[in-house]
């Protein structure tokens, strides 16, 4: 009888009883964080404490990057035409593609290849990195995850790696990412610092997240940022305005520091 | 000079320096959770501890509801045709609309109206609920947030309200939501329990989240669930299969309980 | 047995046999034009010759309006991020909403209301138009379909109405649209010429196309224009470029006239 | 000054003056058909009479294929959740991808490769087809454009090729498509008839339409069919119904023939 049925391993839905990856949802509510639930939904098991903190850090690092990314422009453009919030978000998600967010996936493939090569050839990370860099140069290909059109020293990459060290998440892939950064400078004589895409890529590899979920991690992280932009567009801007990302200024609160006082609820 | 510029208050982007709502992103990474960052992005300030836990609980409660909701079917259908993950997610987000997720917004409007009416008329919650229920009956309108086509006693609603009590989030709107539930039974003689949409609606009201962000909260919560479904479709199913949601079975792990052992990392 | 089945009246699909609204598709191919097939698919019957020509004229009039409309910007932005053509088109379609394309629907409602009022009150079109205009002024509402932010005398409106006269399509709604235009000038003392949205709205009313298909007509017309823009973006532009619609110039062929020589095939 | 500007060759927009590929739009309205305008928008020149008729035939052939294709299911699912028409269409367009519509592009690549090989090797079409078929078999790849999961003799392919012969559009690519079909039968001993995707692919090649526009041709053709389905869903069906494509029946008009009487206007 069941041979005509198709299986799903994510959620079991029965009247008054819901299981997410086996756990009653009513037990999860209030006991695990949203990012733990994300990990559970995607990976089929709960992360340990370090893994949960690392995922939180990754998601926080990518939540927004202002008004210039194409996802923000597509979302604001659709909002400006009068479309509902979910249409604007869908448009934003459609712009998270090869050239925007996609470097995480490319970079994961690079690190997977490099670490595998290291194992196969029994060479050191430094030797492996040198070979990989040469191959990319010969094929005139850019090394994905290195360099940024805007940030010369991405404030997010270092912080993410520092946390990964503390949490003991950093392993072979983070090591390889660092060695490649160092070797680029040494071999090519050019600073091409690991950017946030590259840092996240190395961390996702060390966390055993599949390469084909790289884009999803970025999308989940960025959707809240897009919500903030769409809401701002809908509530503060005239419909059908000319949107030129270069003509914007930051009009928000001045720089501030995390402190107990800021957590006040009203 | 700046009169031709438009302002955005969300993120300040300068070379090697990023501020989210005034906070350096590198300070936030590793110190706040993803749901705290979501609250910050949307509301312009960090939640207090209770608010952060409540938002986590709300997001966890809505992360997935199996294969039958239209968002899941739209996303799986697009994935099955060979589209990339972000296309499938965008299609899923487009299905989170008036009849799916939309009850949160309708329900928030109901509770806002009821609490405002209570204040204006200086009547008790019980009296106000009775008036509101009568008006809906006269206009033959359904009370949004009450009753569920599947669950007679939604396992999520009670849990969310229990947590709201513990965290002292529950206030005038949660009270009104409960009184209306009670009065429906008393006046109409019919059990129409508050469903998860209604429970979330009351909580968002008591948390001062704007009504026009209701759909966004649901979308942010559900996107990870959609990712899990799209990934399952892409990795486990034949392309272009006939997708009938009624023909599915749950093929995942058996029911289990939260326990330390489950948090193992591998 | 059939009580569990749902009906669709559009296309019958049997092995080696396809009926569109009752007609074998193999009979339609080569004998009717695309716009006749569009009319058939939507309305369930073929248009007469005049109706077919009018629909062609409407669709041609709306096929493109350059790079400034939000649908074009959303589509190009998604294309620029590396998304596939169908993602970019979907994003463009999402931007065809209340403030972009939506005036056709609003305008149809205006004309429907005006013509109905004329019938109910047995007043003349001139009297009815005066009443309607006054009501909009009192409520401080804009008359949809009149005035354009760019064109003071839209080259498309007059041409569409001239063709409608020739084809004897123009009837009560086109008349009302013209009378309202005239009366706006007379009553308010301001030229607010009927724009292309208003002209199409009046024509769709006289063609008995339902109001709820107004947006669809515009979308069907504009999708080919969006295809041209996405293709140009994908083949001629650098990915992730800064897209500012105000900084564009027209770089195409100089103005030319329709003539036999232009129909050469190569 | 212009060095900072970007060029677009599609539409010139000046006040009261619009040029599509050089032609004043007001001249085109009423004088060319929608499919001629589509060709003009995409290819930068008008088609000759045969080209226009061929494009009409191709677009008509693909306008709808009932309720089973993923584009229709995605669009109806989104409509059923209460989303607006343009959201449902966008969802439908997102499902026109690799496995649905995508065979046209794959098939064009096959025919391009085959005809190029024929020229390079100076072999006959029959010899070239045999080599190509062998290569696909060796690599265990399916020949795109041949065979159909539903139609054994697609009613659309033959009609399209008959028209192409009449109009003298059929050339080297149509010939190659036919020879491959014949050779599959001869070499493999299996009937794998050219399907409608393959037929359209060969025609687009002979019409010099670029391979990267293949999906666009299918999308432009199918959008009106999707509009009909979304409209039917919105006007005839209960929201949030369980949509199982296999449980549908055709409830439209009985089979009829093209005849003058059917073109009546009302």
* Predicted confidence pLDDT, tens digits, chain A (266 residues): 466 899 999 999 999 999 999 999 999 999 999 999 999 999 999 999 999 999 999 999 999 999 999 999 999 999 999 999 999 999 999 999 999 999 999 999 999 999 999 999 999 999 999 999 999 999 999 999 998 777 788 889 999 999 999 999 999 999 999 999 999 999 988 889 999 999 999 999 999 999 999 999 999 999 999 999 999 999 999 999 999 999 999 999 999 999 755 554 43
Sequence-distant contacts of B136-143: CB under 8 A, at least 24 apart: B137/B188, B143/B110, B143/B180, B143/B184, B143/B192
DSSP B257: -
> B interface toward D at CB cutoff 8 Å?
68, 70-71, 73-74, 77-78, 80-83, 87-88, 90-91, 94-100, 102, 149, 239-240, 242-246
Q: What are residue D194's DSSP bridge partners?
A: D146
d(CA B91, CA B72) in angstroms, rounded, equals: 9
Cα–Cα distance measured from residue A128 to residue A117, given in angstroms and rounded to the nearest whole number: 7
Residue length of chain A? 266
Q: Answer whether B99 sits within 8 Å of D239, measured CB to CB.
A: yes
Whether the Cβ atoms of residue D251 and residue C7 lie closer than 8 Å to each other: yes
Quote the minimal CA–CA distance from C54 to chain D in Å.
7
Contact (Cβ atoms closer than 8 angstroms) between residue C229 and residue C67: yes
Q: Stretch D5-17: mean pLDDT, rounded? A: 96
Q: Which of D63-72, D80-89, D183-192 has the lowest mean pLDDT?
A: D183-192
Q: Give me the mean pLDDT over the D181-200 stretch.
A: 93
- Stretches in chain C below the pLDDT threshold 70: 1-3, 260-266
Q: Which residues of D touch C76 (CB under 8 A)?
A: none
CA-to-CA distance for D83 and D67, rounded, in angstroms? 19
Looking at residue A2, its pLDDT comes to 60
pLDDT at B265 over 90: no
D83/B77 CB distance under 8 A: no
Q: What does pTM read for this prediction? A: 0.96
Contacting C with CB below 8 Å, chain A residues are: 68, 70-71, 73-74, 77-78, 80-83, 87-88, 90-91, 94-100, 102, 239-240, 242-246
CA pair distance D240, D260, nearest whole angstrom: 41
Give the 3-state secondary structure of residue D76.
helix
Nearest neighbour of D83 by CB, restricted to B81, B83, B94: B94
Question: Using 50, 70 and 90 to split pLDDT, how confident is the model at B122?
Answer: very high
Rounded Cα–Cα distance for residues C137 and C146 (Å): 14
Q: In which order are the strands placed within the sheet that holds C23-24? A: C11-14, C17-20, C23-24
Contacts of D83 in chain A (CB under 8 A): 86
Nearest C-alpha in D relative to B90: D91
CB contact under 8 A, C228 and D264: no
**CA gap B154, B148 in Å, rounded:** 8
Cβ contacts of C160 on chain D, cutoff 8 Å: 29
What is the 3-state secondary structure of chain A?
CHHHCEEECCEEEECCEEEECCEEHHHHCCCCCHHHHHHHHHHCCCCCHHHHHHHHHHHHHCCCCCCCCHHHHHHHHHHHCCCCHHHHHHHHHHCCCCCCCHHHHHHHHHHHHHHHHHHHHCCCHHHHHHHHHHHHHHCCCCCCCECCCCCCCCHHHHHHHHHHHHCCCCCHHHHHHHHHHHHHHHHHCCCCCECHHHHHHHHHHHCCCCHHHHHHHHHHHHHHHHHHHHHHHHHHCCCCCCCCHHHEEECCCCCCCCCHHHHCCC
pLDDT, position A213? 98
Interchain pair A81, C91: CB under 8 A: no
Q: State how far residue A163 is from chain C, nearest Cα, in angstroms.
A: 30
| Chains contacting chain A through 3 or more C-beta pairs under 8 A | B, C, D
Residues 6+ apart with CB under 8 A from C261: none
Angle at CA of residue D235, ends D62 and D35, nearest 5°: 30
Q: Which residues of D touch C223 (CB under 8 A)?
A: 219-220, 223
Q: Is D194 helix (H, G, I), strand (E, B) or coil?
A: strand
**With bands split at pLDDT 50, 70 and 90, how would you rate the model's confidence at D238?**
very high
d(CA A223, CA A200): 17
Over residues D152-170, mean pLDDT: 94
Beta carbons of D63 and C190 less than 8 angstroms apart: no
Measured between alpha carbons, how far is C85 from C230 in angstroms, rounded to an integer?
7
Residues with Cβ within 8 Å of residue D24, at least 6 apart in sequence: C155, C255, D17, D18
Residue B239 burial class via C-beta count within 10 angstroms: exposed 0-12, middle 13-18, buried 19 and up: middle
Tell me if D86 and A86 make a contact (CB, 8 A cut-off). no
Rounded Cα distance, A241 and A237, in Å: 8
Are the beta carbons of A33 and B34 separated by less than 8 Å?
yes
Interchain proximity D84–A86, CB inside 8 Å: no
Nearest to B262 by CA among D33, D141, A48: A48
Reference A219, options C78, B216, B85, C84; nearest CA is B85
How close A4 gets to chain D, by Cα (Å)? Answer: 13
Q: Let me know if D258 is exposed, middle or buried by CB neighbors in 10 A (0-12, 13-18, 19+).
A: middle
- Check if the beta carbon of residue D50 is closer than 8 Å to that of residue D189: no
User: Please, which residues have CB within 8 angstroms of residue A28's CB and are 6 or more apart in sequence?
Assistant: A20, A37, A40, B60, B258
CA of D165: how far to CAs of C24, C96, D51, D52, D126, in Å?
21, 39, 12, 14, 20
Which string of b and e fits B48-78 if b means at least 16 CB within 10 Å?
bebbbbbbbbbbbbbbbbbbbbbbbbbbbbb
Give the chain A residue whose CA is nearest to the CA of C86: A94
Please give the pLDDT value at position D151.
Answer: 79
Q: Which residues contact A254 (CB under 8 A, 6 or more apart)?
A: B22
Degrees, nearest 5: CA angle C103-C104-C107: 80
Task: Show residues of chain B in contact with A8, CB under 8 Å.
Answer: 66-67, 229, 232, 248-252
C-alpha distance from D248 to closest chain A C-alpha (Å): 19
Tell which of D3, D14, D30, D240 to mutate to test the C interface (max C CBs under 10 Å): D30
Question: What is the chain B residue with the closest CA to D75?
Answer: B74
The answer to whether residue D13 scores a pLDDT higher than 80 is: yes
Å between C260 CA and nearest CA of chain A = 40
Sign of the Cα torsion C62, C66, C70, C75 reads positive
For the cut 70, the answer to whether the pLDDT of residue B132 exceeds it is yes
Contacting subunits of C (3+ beta carbon pairs below 8 A): A, B, D
Asked if A84 and D86 come within 8 Å (Cβ–Cβ), the reply is no
CA angle B88, B81, D37 (to 5 degrees): 95
As a dihedral over the C-alpha atoms of residue C190, residue C195, residue C197, residue C199, rounded to 10 degrees, the angle is: 100
Q: Is the pLDDT of residue B152 over 90?
A: no
| B14-17, long-range: CB < 8 A, 24+ apart | B15/A150, B15/A151, B15/A152, B16/A151, B16/A152, B16/A153, B16/A154, B16/A155, B17/A155
pLDDT at B242 over 90: yes
Q: Hey, what are D142's tokens?
A: 């399916």
Under DSSP, is residue B208 helix (H, G, I), strand (E, B) or coil? coil
Q: Which residues of B touch D245 (CB under 8 A)?
A: 242, 244
**Would strands C23-24 and C248-250 be described as parallel, antiparallel, or unpaired?**
unpaired
With an 8 Å Cβ cutoff, are A219 and B215 in contact?
no
Between CA C40 and CA D228 the distance in angstroms is 10
**pLDDT, position D1:** 43
Least Cα distance to C108 among C244, C29, C261, C213 occurs for C213
- CB-facing half-sphere around the CA of B187: CA atoms within 13 A: 19
Answer whether residue D248 shows pLDDT above 50: yes
User: In chain D, whose CA is at the least distance from the CA of B243?
Assistant: D244
> What's chain D's average pLDDT?
94
Long-range contacts from D163-169, C-beta under 8 angstroms, 24+ separation:
D163/C29, D163/C30, D163/D53, D163/D54, D163/D57, D164/D54, D164/D203, D164/D206, D167/D50, D167/D53, D167/D54, D168/D50, D169/D50, D169/D51, D169/D54, D169/D203, D169/D206, D169/D207
* D137 pLDDT tier (thresholds 50, 70, 90): very high
Distance (Å) from the alpha carbon of D182 to chain C's nearest alpha carbon: 19
CA distance B116 to C123: 45
Looking at residue A264, its pLDDT comes to 46
Q: How far is A77 from chain C (nearest CA, A)?
A: 6
Neighbours of D255 (CB within 10 A): 11
Q: Is the dihedral of CA A70, A72, A73, A79 positive or negative?
A: positive
d(CA D181, CA A77): 47
Question: What is the pLDDT averaged over residues B35-53?
Answer: 96
Q: What's the CA dihedral at D226, D228, D230, D235 to 10 degrees?
A: 180
């Amino acid at each position: 009888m069941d041979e005509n049925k198709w299986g799903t391993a994510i959620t079991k839905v029965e009247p008054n009883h819901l299981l997410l990856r086996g756990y009653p949802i009513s037990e999860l509510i209030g006991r695990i964080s949203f990012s733990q639930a994300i990990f559970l939904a995607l990976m089929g098991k709960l992360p340990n404490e370090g893994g949960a903190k690392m995922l939180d850090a990754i998601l926080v690092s990518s939540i927004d990057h202002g008004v210039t990314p194409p996802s923000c422009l597509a979302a604001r453009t659709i909002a400006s035409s009068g479309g509902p919030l979910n249409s604007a978000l869908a448009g934003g998600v459609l712009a998270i593609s090869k050239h925007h967010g996609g470097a995480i996936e490319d970079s994961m493939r690079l690190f997977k290849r490099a670490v595998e090569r290291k194992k196969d050839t029994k060479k050191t990370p430094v030797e492996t990195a040198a070979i990989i860099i040469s191959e990319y140069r010969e094929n005139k290909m850019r090394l994905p995850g290195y360099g940024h059109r805007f940030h010369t020293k991405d404030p997010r990459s270092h912080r993410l790696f520092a946390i990964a060290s503390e949490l003991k998440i950093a392993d072979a892939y983070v090591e390889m990412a660092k060695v490649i950064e160092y070797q680029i400078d040494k071999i090519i004589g050019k600073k091409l610092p690991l950017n946030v895409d590259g840092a996240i890529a190395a961390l996702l590899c060390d966390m055993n997240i599949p390469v084909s979920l790289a884009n999803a991690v970025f999308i989940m992280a960025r959707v809240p940022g897009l919500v903030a932009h769409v809401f701002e567009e809908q509530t503060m801007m005239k419909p059908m305005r000319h949107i030129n990302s270069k003509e914007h200024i930051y009009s928000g609160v001045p720089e501030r520091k995390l402190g107990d006082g800021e957590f006040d609820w009203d």
